[in-house]
Amino acid sequence: NAGVMQNPRHLVRRRGQEARLRCSPMKGHSHVYWYRQLPEEGLKFMVYLQKENIIDESGMPKERFSAEFPKEGPSILRIQQVVRGDSAAYFCASSPQSQETQYFGPGTRLLVL
Amino acid sequence: GQNIDQPTEMTATEGAIVQINCTYQTSGFNGLFWYQQHAGEAPTFLSYNVLDGLEEKGRFSSFLSRSKGYSYLLLKELQMKDSASYLCATIKAAGNKLTFGGGTRVLVKP
């Protein structure tokens, strides 16, 4: 049973470009979470999704950031017009049901030049 | 609101025991997680406490006191590979997001 998959593992973008981060949850998991970890800081919740629905986006900046989890395919975290402050590790996690253990993927390390 | 505190850094000797404390103030608290994170890697699940008491899993044990807003992670028979950050996180009864503390960096010395 493969774990949570994320790609790309590393992504370099110039200021103003778009970044698209992908996450495939563990098999049988329908709950997906995105967290951001800034350098030398703790993990911060961004958004929680179930298939085709955003359940909680309270941690996601209102501008430039969006997330989706379509019926088919991976969850996507999209950052438009990236700025240097977006440089961070973005981790996706999944769980089979609510209130159950969240398992993390390897992360995507975004560097904005 | 939520406030989760854990020490920033701890050092211990190989073979010894280390206890990492975590205090929290979480309205609507439902449970507490511990994760291990090696530098540059993903957090790995260690334990999930919902009820008061001690849960033991091999060399690692986790304790929770809901009335005191307190948990600890106990690492026994330390090995060099245990050098990592240990993250305490709470989850509320309503909602599924984890709120993390800043993490405790543990350095195991020979």
Q: Please work out, in degrees rounded to the nearest 5, the angle formed at the alpha carbon of residue A47 by the alpha carbons of B102 and A37.
A: 30
- Which of A43, A95, A103 has its CB closest to that of B87? A43
Residue among A101, A109, A110 with most chain B CBs within 10 A, to mutate: A101
Q: Does A34 touch chain B (CB under 8 A)?
A: no
Residues of A in contact with B41 (CB under 8 A): 106-107
Per-residue pLDDT tens digits of chain B, which is 110 residues long: 568 999 999 999 999 999 999 999 988 889 999 999 999 899 999 999 999 999 999 999 999 999 999 999 999 999 999 999 999 999 998 888 999 999 999 999 99
- Position B93 scores a pLDDT of 86
What was the pLDDT predicted at A40? 78
For residues B12 and B57, give the distance between their C-alpha atoms in angstroms, rounded to a whole number. 20
Backbone phi, psi, residue A86, to 5°: -80, -10
Average pLDDT, integer, range A59-64 = 94
pLDDT above 70 as % of chain A: 99
Q: For residues A26 and A98, what is the distance between their CA atoms, to the nearest angstrom?
A: 14
Mean pLDDT (chain A) is 94
Distance to chain B for A72, nearest Cα, Å: 23
Interface test with A, best of B44, B87, B97, B100 (most A CBs within 10 A): B97
Q: Cα(B22)–Cα(B42) distance, rounded to whole angstroms?
A: 21
What's the CA gap between A10 and A44, in Å, rounded?
A: 19
- Indicate if the pLDDT at residue A1 is higher than 70: no
Predicted pLDDT at B95: 80
Point out the residue among B42, B91, B96 whose CB comes nearest to the CB of A106: B42
Query: Would you state the pLDDT for residue A49?
Result: 95
Nearest to A42 among B91, B93, B101 (CB): B101
Residue B78 is predicted with a pLDDT of 97
Instruction: Name the residue with tokens 């698209």.
Output: A20
The pLDDT, as a whole number, for residue B1 is 57
Q: Are B22 and B71 in contact (CB under 8 A)?
A: yes
The confidence score (pLDDT) of residue B31 equals 94
Asked whether the beta carbons of residue A42 and residue B42 sit closer than 8 angstroms, the reply is no
For A11-47, write each residue's pLDDT tens digit. Answer: 999 999 999 999 999 999 999 999 999 987 889 999 9
**Angle value at C-alpha B39, between A87 and A50, nearest 5 degrees:** 60
B10: its two tokens: 């701890």
Nearest to A101 among B45, B95, B102 (CB): B45
